Chains A and B, each alone.
Chain A
Amino acid sequence: MSHNLDAKIPGGPLADKWDQHMIDNPLVAPGGNRRKHKIIVVGTGLAGGGAAATLGELGYNVMNFCIQDSPRRAHSVAAQGGINASKNYQNDGDSVYRLFYDTIKGGDYRSREANVYRLAQLSMGIIDQSVAMGVPFAREYGGTLSNRSFGGVQVSRTFYARGQTGQQLLLGVYSALSRQGDAGTVKMFPRHEMLDLVVVDGKARGIIARNLITGEIKRYEADAVVLATGGYSPVFYLSTNAVNSNATAAWRAHRRGAYFSNPCYTQIHPTAVPQMGDYQSKLTLMSESLRNDGRVWVPKKSGDKRHPSEIPENERDYYLERRYPAFGNLVPRDIAARAAKVECDAGKSAYYSDQSVYLDFGEAIGRLGRDVVADRYGNLFDMYKEIIGDNPYEVPMMIYPAPHYTMGGLWVDYNLESTIPGLFVAGEANFSDHGANRLGASALMQGLADGYFVVPRVVASYLAGTKLDAVNTDHDAFKATEDDVNKHFQRLLNIKGSRTVRDIHWDLGRVMWDKVGMARNGEGLKEAIAGIGKLREEFWQNLALTGTDKDLNKQLEQANRLADYLELGELMARDALMREESCGGHFREEHMTEEGEAKRDDQKFMFVSAWEYKGENQEPTMHKEGLSYENIEVKTRSYK
């Protein structure tokens, strides 16, 4: 039976909800009371590492797991452009409300008001904290912090550290974690992968994790579990994510009872290096910040494959500036990505391939000089040149949209608690803040808001307000869950087929990209569901693996993750099929305006979907959380 979910949003005026909530909730006293509480945090990115370090500072007994060889390598490290905060340092009219408004509008009115407002409020403290930790943000000659603009907004509120903002913020988190490691409050488990969640008497009480070097599978118990394991873009195989990024921890929690929300909301980022060949393992992002100075264009004439240097100005179509004069090249990601697809589908593309458009810095170099452009984007230009071989200072850069970020994720209430009590979900792994489309420079903001500020407080409230029986790893639930994990591995190793993990993952990626990608339709989604089912069957009958599970074996790790993607991919298609409207990154071809823009159906679809797992090859049940907007007028989103 489907039911409506309660997000437990506190009462009172929007601006006071979070503070009042903290006043109303119980606390855990410092010292021994905190030390006796064990907390497991999975993931060491901005959300997970931030939460683990902060919980450590508060005196809890924290275990922090990551699949990387060091917490410093979590995929937050790859974020380039920046982090938003409503500081209004530029005196250009920014405020908490404006950041809240931009984020809700950017998400096409499909995110939760109270969460987004809290995010905007907490954004400022993130900058203060990061600066104080020695994050070397870009600065003006007067010594103050610099800002730049990102898509979908008309203020400059993005803080940055060259094109490596994620790296620098993550190193800040890592330094805090290192400090807690030395202090003995956080015990690190690098090269460990969470493979299942242990639920005892309806509450999350631990995890099963595998040591990726020795293959040893072990049980870990705690009073609460925090998942901050990122998104699921690699379901498309080719994405901007790291090759080890995966959805396994989140998916296994889903199988244990955590609902999965809005899986069809995926962000296809407009500016990645175009795909080159079928040998490729990933797509490389070119930061959105490039659209501050780069102008996007295609030849006016369909099929024009001349080199860009031979195409005169009047034969170029700067289609974003033409279609969206108010925001121009800085429209939000979903809009920019779809517009590129429209041009390429009409046969207008860059010389390199049928799926590429130009991002041209000629005008910016003329206006600012080469040195200023190099100072702003030099590392990105170097990266691009290395990959494509063209020099972007001389030949316009070529770009094409690529899977990048997933707004969907495990359902959480206002306290970031999933439908399993004691299981909290933070950062990209949850669904709550970005609606159907995330604005640029907001992922780092959400990761750190959750990690530094929200998780430590809501977990404390949970621990103080919940009666927790003593549980150890000898409990039957631990044994049964570990048995399931072992069986799963044996099943994988016993297939002994002839197709590699990469082969099958590539096929899954093609189905996802063609039918559950930038544009979707009912017929295609039904085909996707059938196609993924077949692939799943093939995987379980014909997978080739070598080596053993008692060793470092990356093929086995990837096979284990692909098994989950083969289920998650189908859920994405089901969610997209159910959502008979277009909103943000979810574009149904049956639902668009005459001008080709997304057409929402607020009457029927102003809700969050939350899918309940019902067993392998069983149809999931959808529950709903209704969305209401009391502090913002719901409008048709326009950037014209």
Chain B
Amino acid sequence: MANKGMTIHLKIWRQARGAKDGAFVDYTVQDVQPEMSFLEMLDILNEQLVKKGEEAVEFDNDCREGICGTCGMVVSGVAHGTHAACTTCEIRMRSYNDGDTITVEPFRASSFPIIKDLVVDRAAFDRIQSKGGFVSMNVGSAPDGNAVPVPKEHADKAMDAASCIGCGACVAACPNGSASLFVSAKISQFSWLPQGDPERTRRALMMVEQMDAEGFGDCSNHGECEAVCPKEISIENIARMRTEFIKAAFKG
């Protein structure tokens, strides 16, 4: 455990709040332990900066165990880093070697404006969710939990889609800046459940319309979104969203 640790070089995007542009700044962190998380390595950098009287690098993070979806940065050119199926906070430094240089940038997409340094504004996701990403069911109206049986396979499919943490890596990875994986995961979840059925037409139309209104690009089947998704949400959901949308468009 107590080995000497690695030296890691960082090129981090710094951008003041309200500034149109930023630039990469070089930093070096020493004595990095392999068990450290990537964000703990950034914590050490920030400790150094504050002790020198410089401003810390701002990055969004919270649970630090891959479930809240708060963290997200482009690490070595890939959203959430090159390690498959994990969020930025789950990256461990044992994935790197002594002397490595790592570039760190914010998620870049026209619908995710940069707020400061590595922090971006993903409120567009909330606005999409508010256009039908729910079952209209007031508290008090629900029947018994077992009143409507749901086949296990369907519940499992719904759960696969519902695992989305809303981090936005899919958008950052897509050459078109499309939010299709995020939106389709929500539409899919409800499409597998009988509870989602009464509003499926309305939901598909409204969510897709809001996605377009937010300026997200179209999906052209690159598959980059699936590759970076920390929760391995499948692009099959996008196919399902298209089916739901076409059916809905015909029903109108």
Residues on the B chain within 8 Å of A75, using CB = 62-63, 68
Neighbour of A68 across the interface among B62, B85, B134, B137, CB < 8 A: B62
- Residue A591, interface by CB 8 Å: no
Residues on the B chain within 8 Å of A127, using CB = 145
A72 to B126, CA, bound (A): 9
A125 to B139, CA, bound (A): 9
Which parts of A170-196 form the interface with B (CB within 8 Å)? 171, 174-176, 178-179, 181-182, 188, 190
- Residue A281, interface by CB 8 Å: yes
- Residue B21, interface by CB 8 Å: no
Residues on the A chain within 8 Å of B148, using CB = 131
Neighbour of B135 across the interface among A87, A134, A167, A242, CB < 8 A: A134
A188 to B125, CA, bound (A): 14
A252 to B201, CA, bound (A): 47
Contact across chains for B64 and A281 when beta carbons are under 8 A apart: yes
Residues on the A chain within 8 Å of B239, using CB = none
Contact across chains for A281 and B39 when beta carbons are under 8 A apart: yes
* Residue of B whose beta carbon sits closest to that of A241: B63
- Residue B142, interface by CB 8 Å: yes
- Residue A142, interface by CB 8 Å: yes
**Nearest chain A CB to B165's CB is how many angstroms away?**
8
**Nearest chain B CB to A130's CB is how many angstroms away?**
8
Contact across chains for A502 and B159 when beta carbons are under 8 A apart: no
Residues on the A chain within 8 Å of B215, using CB = none
* Residue of B whose beta carbon sits closest to that of A161: B159
Which parts of A11-34 form the interface with B (CB within 8 Å)? none
Residues on the A chain within 8 Å of B63, using CB = 73, 75, 77-78, 242-243
Contact across chains for A69 and B150 when beta carbons are under 8 A apart: no
* Residue of A whose beta carbon sits closest to that of B144: A128
Given A78-B68, A179-B130, also A132-B152 (CB < 8 A): no
Stretch in contact with the other chain, from B100-108, B116-124, B173-181: B116-124
* Residue of A whose beta carbon sits closest to that of B134: A175
**Nearest chain A CB to B197's CB is how many angstroms away?**
10
Residues on the B chain within 8 Å of A142, using CB = 149
Residues on the B chain within 8 Å of A130, using CB = 145
Residues on the B chain within 8 Å of A546, using CB = 49-50, 53-56
Contact across chains for A70 and B144 when beta carbons are under 8 A apart: no
* Residue of A whose beta carbon sits closest to that of B70: A73
**Nearest chain B CB to A639's CB is how many angstroms away?**
29
- Residue B111, interface by CB 8 Å: no
| Total contacting residues, chain A, CB less than 8 A | 85
Contact across chains for A132 and B137 when beta carbons are under 8 A apart: yes
Residues on the B chain within 8 Å of A162, using CB = 159
A213 to B36, CA, bound (A): 29
Given A73-B70, A136-B155, A386-B92, also A129-B142 (CB < 8 A): yes
Neighbour of A136 across the interface among B36, B125, B193, CB < 8 A: B193
Contact across chains for B36 and A244 when beta carbons are under 8 A apart: no
Contact across chains for A188 and B126 when beta carbons are under 8 A apart: yes
Residues on the A chain within 8 Å of B53, using CB = 546
Contact across chains for A175 and B135 when beta carbons are under 8 A apart: yes
Q: Mark B187-219, 1 if CB is under 8 A from A, else 0.
A: 001101101100000000000000000000000
Contact across chains for B68 and A144 when beta carbons are under 8 A apart: no
Contact across chains for A181 and B39 when beta carbons are under 8 A apart: no
Contact across chains for A168 and B50 when beta carbons are under 8 A apart: no
Contact across chains for B64 and A143 when beta carbons are under 8 A apart: no
Contact across chains for A69 and B50 when beta carbons are under 8 A apart: no
Contact across chains for A500 and B47 when beta carbons are under 8 A apart: yes
- Residue B33, interface by CB 8 Å: yes
Contact across chains for B145 and A131 when beta carbons are under 8 A apart: yes
Q: Which of A68, A136, A144, A168 has the most CB of B within 10 A?
A: A136
Contact across chains for A281 and B43 when beta carbons are under 8 A apart: yes
A138 to B153, CA, bound (A): 10
Residues on the A chain within 8 Å of B142, using CB = 125, 128-129, 131-133
A547 to B138, CA, bound (A): 45
- Residue A317, interface by CB 8 Å: no
A280 to B41, CA, bound (A): 9
A181 to B92, CA, bound (A): 38
Q: Mark B27-50, 1 if CB is under 8 A from A, else 0.
A: 000000101110110011011011
- Residue A453, interface by CB 8 Å: yes
- Residue A477, interface by CB 8 Å: no
Q: Mark B51-88, 1 if CB is under 8 A from A, else 0.
A: 10111101011111111111000000000000001100
Contact across chains for A243 and B64 when beta carbons are under 8 A apart: yes
- Residue A137, interface by CB 8 Å: yes
Residues on the B chain within 8 Å of A271, using CB = none
Which parts of A133-157 form the interface with B (CB within 8 Å)? 133-134, 136-145
**Nearest chain B CB to A554's CB is how many angstroms away?**
6
**Nearest chain A CB to B210's CB is how many angstroms away?**
10
Residues on the A chain within 8 Å of B50, using CB = 500, 544-546, 555
Q: Mark A115-130, 1 if CB is under 8 A from B, else 0.
A: 0000000001101111
- Residue A282, interface by CB 8 Å: yes
- Residue B221, interface by CB 8 Å: no
A285 to B63, CA, bound (A): 11
Given A78-B68, A131-B142, A178-B126, also A244-B62 (CB < 8 A): yes
A452 to B61, CA, bound (A): 28
**Nearest chain A CB to B211's CB is how many angstroms away?**
14
- Residue A495, interface by CB 8 Å: no
Neighbour of A502 across the interface among B43, B58, B126, CB < 8 A: B43
Residues on the A chain within 8 Å of B133, using CB = 175, 178
**Nearest chain B CB to A192's CB is how many angstroms away?**
13
- Residue A592, interface by CB 8 Å: no
Neighbour of A176 across the interface among B85, B122, B134, CB < 8 A: B134
Contact across chains for A132 and B135 when beta carbons are under 8 A apart: yes
- Residue B146, interface by CB 8 Å: yes
Contact across chains for A280 and B40 when beta carbons are under 8 A apart: yes
**Nearest chain B CB to A202's CB is how many angstroms away?**
31
Residues on the A chain within 8 Å of B193, using CB = 134, 136
**Nearest chain A CB to B87's CB is how many angstroms away?**
10
* Residue of B whose beta carbon sits closest to that of A67: B62
Residues on the A chain within 8 Å of B149, using CB = 142-144
Residues on the A chain within 8 Å of B129, using CB = 72, 174-175, 178
Which parts of A81-110 form the interface with B (CB within 8 Å)? 87, 89
- Residue A615, interface by CB 8 Å: no
* Residue of B whose beta carbon sits closest to that of A57: B138
Contact across chains for A456 and B139 when beta carbons are under 8 A apart: yes
Contact across chains for A242 and B155 when beta carbons are under 8 A apart: no
Residues of B with Cβ closer than 8 Å to A? 1, 17, 33, 35-37, 39-40, 43-44, 46-47, 49-51, 53-56, 58, 60-70, 85-86, 90, 92, 94, 115-116, 119, 121-123, 125-126, 129-131, 133-146, 148-152, 155-156, 158-159, 162-163, 165-166, 189-190, 192-193, 195-196
Could you pull out 13 A-B pairs where Cβ atoms are within 8 angstroms? Answer: A57-B138, A73-B70, A75-B68, A131-B142, A138-B159, A168-B162, A179-B130, A181-B126, A277-B36, A279-B36, A282-B65, A546-B54, A551-B17
Residues of A with Cβ closer than 8 Å to B? 53-54, 57, 68-73, 75, 77-78, 87, 89, 124-125, 127-134, 136-145, 159, 161-162, 164, 167-168, 171, 174-176, 178-179, 181-182, 188, 190, 213, 242-244, 276-277, 279-282, 284-285, 353, 382-383, 386-389, 452-453, 456, 498, 500, 502-503, 544-547, 551-555
Given contacts A140-B152, A168-B159, A213-B116, 12 further A-B contacts (CB under 8 A): A70-B123, A125-B142, A129-B137, A129-B140, A129-B142, A134-B135, A136-B192, A138-B159, A161-B159, A188-B126, A276-B1, A353-B1
